Structure 1
Amino acid sequence: MKNLVGIDRNKAEKLVVELNVLLADYEIFYQNLRGFHWNIKGKQFFELHEKFEEFYNDAFVKIDEIAERILTLEGEPLHTYTDYLKTTEIEEAKSITDGNKCVEVIVNNFSTLITKERLILSIAADADDEGTVSLMSDYISETEKTLWMLNSYLK
């Protein structure tokens, strides 16, 4: 049996589960970025303060897109921090003020996100879910470039 957008319901349910993990990951990543933006200190303050804001604004958009995709697949997006913390694969970052340490955490967080995005891409392709495939493809391309740049920054 198919849902309203023509995706097999069982496959859509599997996608909803994985998308909710990604949603939880992005929510905690977003909050990590906010903390870095607020608490960064040192000579890299100006460049990193601005970069962290760019990253959290992008994460904010992705959070909404992921939640809306879950709804499109007839699922319910997680929406409490209790659920996010139970579900996420990203650790909370607290009281980090060193720029390089912040960037290292961000690289690790992006690595977690891209791994999840690739898994969802594979599941979505198997379900003939072009909407989710397209979304994940866009995220993966962007994340790959960002990871390259951040790793270059750290060297």
Structure 2
Amino acid sequence: MTQFNSLGLDQPKLETLATKLNILLANYSIFYQNTRGFHWNIKGKNFFELHLKFEELYTNLQLKIDEIAERILTLGYCPNHNFSDYQKTATITEIKETTKDTIAIATIIESLATLIQLQRIILKLTQEIDDEGTSSLMSDNIREQEKLIWMYKAYIS
């Protein structure tokens, strides 16, 4: 017999989802900190434009981090909050070089692609267990980030 939680979702399958959401949270958190580093340290002729764009990006990432953590809590699990845990589970890595615009933008594109890939995996799982709340969150993020990739690629072309 399947056990459902108060949201009407299959409790045993939610554990897998919560684990994947914590991995996503770790990747967002490291990407956020990388973007803060780009914002603080960028140099060159595109400084003013990129300084503002990177602030816009990290502000948006901060909101998404909060939404993911709160979704994990809504599902009845605990979001990880330690950078040591993030570094163990994330596939996005810390970036040491934060002053060159080409490195920053290439890293942003690569990080967005990583997030999209992880969110597609989560989206598929949410559809299997009828978790519309998480599904909607993933769909919205994917759509927005696909557009950002296009824009950043257009910028460096």
TM-score calculated relative to the size of structure 1:
0.98
Q: Please give the alpha-carbon distance, in whole angstroms, between the structure 2 residues aligned to 1:13 and 1:127.
A: 12
Among 49, 59, 74, the residue aligned to 1:72: 74
Q: Please give the alpha-carbon distance, in whole angstroms, between the structure 2 residues aligned to 1:37 and 1:96.
A: 8
Letter aligned with residue 75 of structure 1:
Y
1:108 shift after superposition: 0.4
Aligned residue number for residue 42 of structure 2: 40
Aligned residue number for residue 30 of structure 2: 28
Among 133, 138, 144, the residue aligned to 1:136: 138
1:4 shift after superposition: 1.5
Q: Which runs of 4+ in 1 moved over 6 A?
A: none
1:95 shift after superposition: 2.8
Q: Once the two structures are aligned, what percentage of the paired residues are identical? A: 54
Structure 2 gap ranges (5+): none
Deviations 1:98-123 (A, max 9, x none): 11110000000001000001000000
TM-score calculated relative to the size of structure 2:
0.97
Equivalent runs, 1:114-125 vs 2, <5 Å: 114-125=116-127
Equivalent runs, 1:88-107 vs 2, <5 Å: 88-107=90-109
Q: What is the number of residues matched between the two proteins?
A: 155
Structure 1 gap ranges (5+): none
1:154 shift after superposition: 1.4
- Aligned 8 A contact 1:39 1:95 in 2: no
Q: Please give the alpha-carbon distance, in whole angstroms, between the structure 2 residues aligned to 1:81 and 1:60.
A: 15
Output the aligned Cα RMSD: 0.6
